[in-house]
Amino acid sequence: MNTDQLIDRLSQSVPPVPRHAVRWRLLIGLLFGSIVTVAMIASGLGFRPDLSLAMHGFSFWMKWAYTGSLSLCAIAATVQLSRPDARPMHWLWVMAVPVIGLAAICGVELARAPVAQWLPMWLGHSWDVCSSIVFLLSLPIFGGLLWSFRRLAPTRLRAAGATAGLTAGAWSATLYCLHCPEVTAIFVLTWYTLGIALAALLGALIGPRLLRW
Amino acid sequence: MRASEDQLRSWMIGGLGGHAADHAALLRALVPLLRAFYRRRMRAQDDAIEDLVQETLIAVHERRATYDRERPFTGWLYAIARYKMIDQFRRSGRLCPIEGLDEILVAEGFEDATGAFLDVERLLDTLPAKQARAIRATRIEGLSVAEAAVRDNIGESDVKVSVHRGLKALAQRIRNDFR
């Protein structure tokens, strides 16, 4: 086909594009992935029975503030990287703020507790499964974001894969709070963060392969 | 005459609003830009260049939602063109010459490109129209002497002579500016 014919064919279907098309597309992928993740939590793990009570407590909101703020940063970065002319993202350092904040809370918590309590606080009841559950729950969300990317145009594929993985990990951790009864900051800082980091690592590893267009 | 950034951008925004005619005008205007872009950077047959141009047009069409109306259009376009070229190198398993790579990664910045483009436009404007047209056709748009001659309906030797005289006059002018 010569170039003129191609142009004629391409110009036959020119539907209008809404202003925030990129954001919407990513949000829809995120939403569908989240539905699967919530279904997995509901059917496989169950919501914590004291959820409504816990929502009045500090530790629940501490966890949500941590994973939620990481998700927001990661989503914003993903939106930027889904355009071909992504600008450098010097603002990403603000992601250190929730981490440092949580570490400060850890310090206070540990200082108040007797040393003998430190190990049980760190390991909780579920240290051995927490990270892998966060990682597994992130996979449907990551899949949803991959669908979103099919119409987007990332040019830095590894970075885009990493931020998509980070978004999926942080958001799945946020949803996992609906099940996880752990209360200490040191637990969240270690095991949640590990699961989120694994999801980001997976994204960085397979991004260049899966995001090509 | 090349379409300007403003013209391309307004066509693009028209296309995003659903105007098929604007979209078609945009794609047509991109063809010479993309041909020149790839010819400058790749040692490839015309067929290969044309394939890449078409692939880029398809990408521009399919992924037009990723253009942000507040940002420069050519920056977006050349980011896609660059990506398609690097993807092509990767697919064909060929190594990109290193000395070219710096230019690809850095020098294609929008400001630089536009700045250089404006300088060239300003210089060409000082020449007689025929010489400027001949230089634009053969040295910027990447047409061959024969193609340029057919387009302007003049002889091939006329094109060659115009390019030669025009470039000589430009060189003289730049030398004087430096003194």
Q: What is the CATH number of the domain that holds B143?
A: 1.10.10
How many domains, in total, are found in chain B? 2
Q: What angle do CA B164, B169, B173 make, to 5 degrees?
A: 150
Is residue A45 a part of any domain in this protein?
Answer: yes
| Shared-domain flag, residues B12 and B79 | yes
- Reported as a pLDDT band with limits 50, 70 and 90, residue A79 is very high
**Minimum CA–CA partner of B60 in chain A:** A153
Q: Are residues B54 and B140 in the same domain?
A: no
Within a domain: B167: yes
Within-domain flag for A13: no
Q: Is A15 on the interface with B (CB under 8 A)?
A: yes
Is A65 inside a domain boundary? yes
In angstroms, the CA B68 to CA B50 distance is 27
What mean pLDDT do residues B1-12 have? 84
Number of domains composing chain A: 1
A31 falls within a domain: yes
Nearest chain B residue (CA) to A156: B83
Q: Which of B76, B107, B138 is the last residue of a domain?
A: B107
Q: Is the pLDDT of residue A13 over 90?
A: no
CA atoms of A198 and A137, how far apart (whole Å): 12
Domain shared by B54 and B93, yes or no? yes
Other Cβ atoms less than 10 A from the Cβ of B35: the count is 19
Q: Enumerate long-range contacts of B38-42, CB under 8 Å, 24 or more apart.
A: B38/B81, B38/B85, B39/B142, B40/B142, B41/B85, B41/B100, B41/B103, B41/B104, B42/B85
Q: Are residues B90 and B134 in the same domain?
A: no
Burial of A126 (0-12, 13-18, 19+ CB in 10 A): middle
CA B89 to chain centre: 20
% chain B with pLDDT above 90: 32
Look at B80 and A155 and tell me if their CB atoms are within 8 Å. Answer: yes
Chain B residues whose CB is inside 8 A of the A6 CB are 54, 57-58
Query: Which residue range is the domain that position A54 belongs to?
Result: 20-210
Is B19 inside a domain boundary? yes
Cβ <8 Å between A153 and B28? no
Asked if the structure places residue B118 within a domain, the reply is no
First to last CA, chain B: 32
Q: Summarize pLDDT for B28-84 with one digit per residue, the tens.
A: 999 999 999 998 888 778 888 999 999 999 999 999 999 999 999 989 999 999 999
Q: Are residues B21 and B50 in the same domain?
A: yes
Are residues B102 and B139 part of one domain?
Answer: no
The amino acid occupying position A95 is: M
DSSP of A123-180? HTTTHHHHHHHHHHHHHHHHHHHHHHHTTS--S-HHHHHHHHHHHHHHHHHHHHTTT-
Lowest mean pLDDT among A26-30, B41-45, B126-130: B41-45
Is B96 found in the same domain as B140? Answer: no
Tokens in use for B91? 């697919």
Co-location of B83 and B130 in the same domain: no
User: Which residue in A17, A82, A212 is closest to B87 by CB distance?
Assistant: A212
Looking at B80, B107, B134, the residue that finishes a domain is B107
Q: Is the pLDDT of residue A27 over 70?
A: yes
Mean of all residue pLDDT scores within chain B: 84
Based on the fold, state whether residues B20 and B80 are members of the same structural domain: yes
Whether residue B65 is contained in a domain is answered as yes
Q: Is the Cβ of B145 closer than 8 Å to some Cβ of chain A? A: no
- By CA distance, what is B50's nearest residue in A? A3
- Closest Cα in chain B, distance from residue A72 (Å): 20
Which chain A residues are Cβ-neighbours of B69 within 8 angstroms?
19
Within a domain: A15: no
Token code pair at residue A71? 């998700």
Confidence check: pLDDT of A85 > 70: yes
> In whole angstroms, how large is the CA radius of gyration of chain A?
20
**pLDDT at residue B97 greater than cutoff 60:** no
Instruction: Verify that B28 and B94 share a domain, yes or no.
Output: yes
The answer to whether residue B82 neighbours chain A at the CB level (below 8 Å) is: yes
Q: Which structural domain range is residue B38 located in?
A: 1-107
Q: What pLDDT does residue B146 have?
A: 82
Average pLDDT over residues B153-166: 89
Cβ <8 Å between B23 and A11: yes
pLDDT digits (tens, 9 = 90+) for A103-129: 999 999 999 989 898 998 999 888 889
HEC string of chain B equals CCCCHHHHHHHHHHHHCCCHHHHHHHHHHHHHHHHHHHHHHCCCCHHHHHHHHHHHHHHHHHCHHHCCCCCCHHHHHHHHHHHHHHHHHHHHCCCCCHHHHHHHHHHCCHHHHHHHHHHHHHHHHCCCHHHHHHHHHHHHCCCCHHHHHHHHCCCHHHHHHHHHHHHHHHHHHHHHHHC
Q: Contact A85/B16, CB-based, under 8 Å?
A: no
Structural Rg of chain B based on CA atoms: 18
Which has the higher per-residue pLDDT, A51 or A164?
Answer: A164
Same-domain status, B2 and B55: yes
Q: What pTM did the predictor assign?
A: 0.74
Residue at A3 is within a domain: no
Instruction: Check CB contact under 8 Å for B82 and A25.
Output: no
How many other C-beta atoms are found inside a 10 Å radius of the C-beta of residue A40? 19
Domain boundary among B75, B107, B139: B107
The reported pLDDT for the residue numbered B111 is: 64
pLDDT value of position B109:
60
Same domain, B43 and B75: yes
Higher-pLDDT residue of A48, A37: A37
Sort residue B153 into left (φ over 0), alpha (ψ -120 to 50) or beta: left
Q: What is the distance between the alpha carbons of residues A153 and A142, in angstroms, rounded to a whole number?
A: 17
A117 within a domain of the structure (yes/no): yes
